[in-house]
Amino acid sequence: MKYENFSTFDVKVEGAIATVTFDFGTVNVQGQEMLADLNSLAMRLEMDRDVKVVVFESANPEIWVCHYDTELLQHLSTEAVSRDGAQLLDLQAICERISKVPQATIAKLEGFARGGGHELALALDMRFAVRGKFKFMQMEVGMGILPCGGGASRMARQTGLGRALEIILSARDFDADEAEAMGTINKAFEADEIDAYVDTLAKRIASFPAGSINACKQMVYESIDKPIDEALKAEAYWLYQATSKTPAVKRFTVAEEQGLQHDMENQRNWENMVMDVQEIS
């Protein structure tokens, strides 16, 4: 797959890991150019059978993605719509499309992410941020609107109702430690630590079968949208989706032949064994 001709970010592919580096104007504004690029990126990722992990970072040392373009926002309609008449906004549709690509997606947050910028981060699978550099804010309430790139919808799925409401109603900056404590990011790091953690994680995931990465992530997203009895049926569906596309059976046969589950020493060593088994097929 070729990842070329983007105007708001650059994409580098090494092995099974793609790195998307936002680099657009002074502050990485999220306007029509970036939305078009993200949509085009999603379309390619959906068809890519080689890339398994996508890391999103920024060339700007202070800003990841700043926020949705105010130039577009000043043309917002001021007419209320009926519930049936509500059409998804481009930002919503594109964030949702990015959210469900078959790859594992990681936001590496080394600067500000506010408004639609932070909503894009929330649409990715995992978020890691740097202390003293990362801040996030949903400022929409103060501008007369609401977070409308999936932010109002996704916030409580990351942190409970009470904290989601404080984030969205207070329109203040939250730092990396607050974000970690509330669970909107996975983990906060010192500036010189984040690379090692994200690189190790990305390489680890990238060594696993694409079919099981996709099955795992689709299932986690489905689980929170369904009652448990339906979620369990979906789990079984995704299991067979995975086994039909991965070397699962061969791996378990080897594990069985090696007597894995009768050996205490192997049990202690699972974290490495999972990597070793990637050599099998």
Q: How far is the CB of 274 from a second copy (least distance, A)?
A: 4
Could you say whether residue 203 binds a second copy (CB under 8 A)? no
Cα(160)–Cα(164) distance, integer angstroms: 6
Indicate whether 223 belongs to the interface with a second copy (CB under 8 A): yes
Q: Does 36 bind a second copy (CB under 8 A)?
A: no
183 scored as a contact of a second copy (CB under 8 A) = yes
Site for a second copy in 95-134 (CB under 8 A): 96, 104, 112, 114, 125-127
**Listed residue (128, 136, 124, 189) closest to 167, CA to CA:** 136
Q: Which of 10, 157, 177, 193 binds a second copy (CB under 8 A)?
A: 157
CB 61 within 8 A of CB 27: no
Closest CB to a second copy among residues 44, 157: 157
Is 117 in contact with 65 (CB distance < 8 Å)? Answer: yes
Q: How far is the CB of 46 from a second copy (least distance, A)?
A: 17
59 counts as binding a second copy under rule CB under 8 A: no
Give yes or no for a contact between 126 and 105, defined as CB atoms under 8 angstroms apart: yes
Q: Is 81 in the site for a second copy (CB under 8 A)?
A: yes
Q: What angle do CA 36, 40, 45 make, to 5 degrees?
A: 145
Site for a second copy in 250-269 (CB under 8 A): 251-253, 255-256, 260-264, 267-268
146 binds a second copy (CB under 8 A): yes
| Nearest approach, Cβ of residue 38 and a second copy (Å) | 16
Q: Would you tell me the crossing angle of helices 151-158 and 116-123 to the nearest 10 degrees? A: 50
Binding range to a second copy, per CB under 8 A, among 11-19, 32-40, 41-49, 79-87: 79-87
User: Interior CA angle at 43 toward 115 and 204, to 5°?
Assistant: 80
The DSSP element (H or E) to which 33 belongs, if any, is helix 32-47
Q: Is 132:107 a contact under the CB 8 Å cutoff?
A: no
Taking CB under 8 A as the criterion, the residue among 59, 142, 190, 199 binding a second copy is 142
Among 152, 175, 177, 195, binds a second copy (CB under 8 A): 152
- Give the closest residue to 10 by CA, choosing from 26, 21, 1: 21
